[in-house]
Amino acid sequence: GQNIDQPTEMTATEGAIVQINCTYQTSGFNGLFWYQQHAGEAPTFLSYNVLDGLEEKGRFSSFLSRSKGYSYLLLKELQMKDSASYLCAVRDQFYGQNFVFGPGTRLSVLP
């Protein structure tokens, strides 16, 4: 079966750095994705890892270790607008190119 775990809530201060962890178990791993979702809005794509290592994209970076079934999303120089839910999603070959999502981490950025 598939299982993805991430913390439910996190709080950080504006300007700080926050790391959101994700652990997963899946039989047909074919990539790990991070999405951002503001309340009442569509999830939007942030990053993608299929090989081990760090992918950097501006203020956002994502890391993957396939042997450990582990990923993290790193957000630097936090801004108030970063307050949102962050969804870890694994593309599982069992579902084609579709995703198994984690429960999401609600991040609150405080002034």
Partner 1 sequence: KAGVTQTPRYLIKTRGQQVTLSCSPISGHRSVSWYQQTPGQGLQFLFEYFSETQRNKGNFPGRFSGRQFSNSRSEMNVSTLELGDSALYLCASSSFDRQGDSNYGYTFGSGTRLTVV
Instruction: Write down the least CB distance from residue 38 to partner 1, Å.
Output: 11
Q: How many Cα atoms occupy the beta-carbon half-sphere of 15 within 13 Å?
A: 1
Residues that bind partner 1 (CB under 8 A): 30-31, 33, 35, 40-45, 48, 50, 87, 89, 91, 93, 95-104
**Cα 11–Cα 16–Cα 17 angle in degrees, nearest 5:** 85
Contact 56, 48 (CB under 8 A): no
Tokens 């002034």 correspond to what residue? 111
Nearer to partner 1, 40 or 53 (CB): 40
Nearer to partner 1, 13 or 93 (CB): 93
Instruction: Write down the least CB distance from residue 30 to partner 1, Å.
Output: 6
Q: Residue type at 84? A: A
Nearer to partner 1, 8 or 67 (CB): 8
Instruction: Write down the least CB distance from residue 16 to partner 1, Å.
Output: 26
Instruction: Write down the least CB distance from residue 40 to partner 1, Å.
Output: 8
**What is the SS3 string spanning 77-102?**
CCCHHHCEEEEEEEEEHHHCCCEEEC
Nearer to partner 1, 19 or 93 (CB): 93
